[in-house]
Amino acid sequence: MGDCGPDDPYFLGRDEAETERLNQQHRFLLAISGGELIHPSIPKETISAVADIGAGTGVWLADLATILPNTPLDLHGFDISAAQYPPDSVIVVPGKARIPLAVHDALVPYPPEHLGRYDLVHIRLLTAGLKKGDFPVVLRNARSLLKPNGYIQWEEVDTTTFCTNQEPELPAITTMRNTLIDAMLKLGLWPYAPPTVYEEICAGGFHKIYRETYTTEGKEDLRTIAPKWVAGVMRALVPSSMVVLGQAENDEDAKTQVETLIAEFEEHCKSALALASFGVTAAQRCE
C-alpha cells in the first residue's frame, strides 16, 4: 500500500514487489505501443540528452540507452523518491551510458545545471501522485529542461478504461475500477490524465503535437499478458483505495477482498480480452 497522505500523496507502494511490477509493466507498455520507446514523431537521430521525470526504477532510461544511435549520451533520471533506484542511484549500460538518477520533486523548479540541457523530456505514469492543478506545474518545469526545439513525451494510463470486450460488464471489474477512481478523487488525485496532459501541452508552449491512444483492443497477442497487467495494477492500487474509502477495515481485509475480485476477473478473462488504454502526447517546444 502507498504511503499516501498530505505529505506524500503518491498512491502506490515502493517495495520490492512494486519495483518488480514497474519493470514488468514497462514490457507490457512497450508491447501495447508497438515496441516504440520514443514516439515516431520524434526523430531519434536528434536525441542524445534525455531527462526522465518520475523515473521510478529507471527501466525506461536503461532501455533507451540501448536504442539511441548517438554517442555520447547524456541521460538523467529524476524522481521524488530514490526508493526504487538501483544501488548508488546509477545505471550503467556498458559501452553506451552511465545514467545518474537524482531525487527531485517534479513540482519544484530544477537546478540551473539542468535547464535548457535536454533534447527530450519523458514523463510516464505520474498520475498516481498528481492533483489536477499539478499538471501545468510539472509541464512548466519539464519544459524548462528542454533545449529550444526539444521534445516532450508524456504517457499516462486512462484509469477509466479498465474493462473487457464482453458485455454485460463483470461486476468485479466495475467495482475495482470505480473504487480506484473514487479513492483518487477523494485524495484530490486526478484519474483522467491522458486528456489533461494533451490539453496542458497544447496550452503550454509546444507545437507539432501528436496524441496517440494505445489499447489492447483487437490485439490477440496481448490476450495472456493484458489480464496479468490489469490484475497487477488492481493489486497495487485497489486495496489502498478501499481503505481510503472506508470499504475495508484494514490492509489485510482490503487485500482479501481484492484477491476475490481478481480471481473473478481472471476467470472471466479465460474467454474475454482485458481492455485498457494508454495515452501518449508528444510535442516540440516552441518559444
Ligand X SMILES: C[S@@+](CC[C@H](N)C(=O)[O-])C[C@H]1O[C@@H](n2cnc3c(N)ncnc32)[C@H](O)[C@@H]1O
Q: 36 vs 264, which CB is nearer to ligand X?
A: 36
Q: 3 vs 217, which CB is nearer to ligand X?
A: 3
| CB 167 to ligand X: min, Å | 30
Q: How far apart are CA 169 and CA 261, in angstroms?
A: 13
The region of 68-76, 88-96, 118-126, 254-262 touching ligand X under the rule CB under 6 A is 118-126
Lookup: cell for 232: 497487477
- Which residue from 4, 22, 51, 230 is in contact with ligand X, where contact means CB under 6 A? 22
- What order of strands is seen across the sheet that includes strand 146-157? 90-93, 97-103, 74-79, 49-53, 118-124, 146-157, 277-285, 206-215
Positions in 235-254 near ligand X (CB under 6 A):
none
Q: 105 vs 266, which CB is nearer to ligand X?
A: 105
Local structure of residue 9 (DSSP, 8 states): -
Q: How far apart are CA 210 and CA 200, in angstroms?
A: 13
Residue 84 sits in the site that holds ligand X (CB under 6 A): yes
Residue 26 sits in the site that holds ligand X (CB under 6 A): yes
Q: 37 vs 106, which CB is nearer to ligand X?
A: 106
The region of 74-82, 156-164, 200-208, 219-227 touching ligand X under the rule CB under 6 A is 74-82
| CB 252 to ligand X: min, Å | 24
Q: 212 vs 264, which CB is nearer to ligand X?
A: 212
Q: How far apart are CA 77 and CA 246, in angstroms?
A: 36
| CB 73 to ligand X: min, Å | 19
| CB 267 to ligand X: min, Å | 27
The region of 39-47, 56-64, 260-268, 278-286 touching ligand X under the rule CB under 6 A is 56-64
CA distances to 28, 128, 155, 282 from 182, in Å = 26, 13, 22, 29
Question: Using only C-alpha atoms, what is the Rg of the chain?
Answer: 19
Residue 10 sits in the site that holds ligand X (CB under 6 A): yes
3-state secondary structure of 106: coil
Q: 75 vs 172, which CB is nearer to ligand X?
A: 75
Contact residues for 61 (Cβ-Cβ < 8 A; gap 6+): 50, 52, 55, 75, 77, 91, 99
Closest CA to 191 of 45, 11, 16, 62: 11
DSSP conformation letters of 208-247: EEEEEEEESTT-GGGTTHHHHHHHHHHHHHHHHHHHHTTS
The region of 39-47, 48-56, 144-152, 206-214 touching ligand X under the rule CB under 6 A is 48-56
**# of chain residues touching ligand X (CB under 6 A):** 21
Positions in 122-141 near ligand X (CB under 6 A):
124-126, 128-129
Closest CA to 276 of 225, 204, 238: 225
Residue 81 sits in the site that holds ligand X (CB under 6 A): yes
Q: 77 vs 164, which CB is nearer to ligand X?
A: 77
Element (H, E) at 258: helix 251-268
CA 153 to chain centre: 12
Q: 105 vs 217, which CB is nearer to ligand X?
A: 105
Residue ranges binding ligand X (CB under 6 A): 10, 12, 22, 26, 54-56, 59-60, 79-81, 84, 105-107, 124-126, 128-129
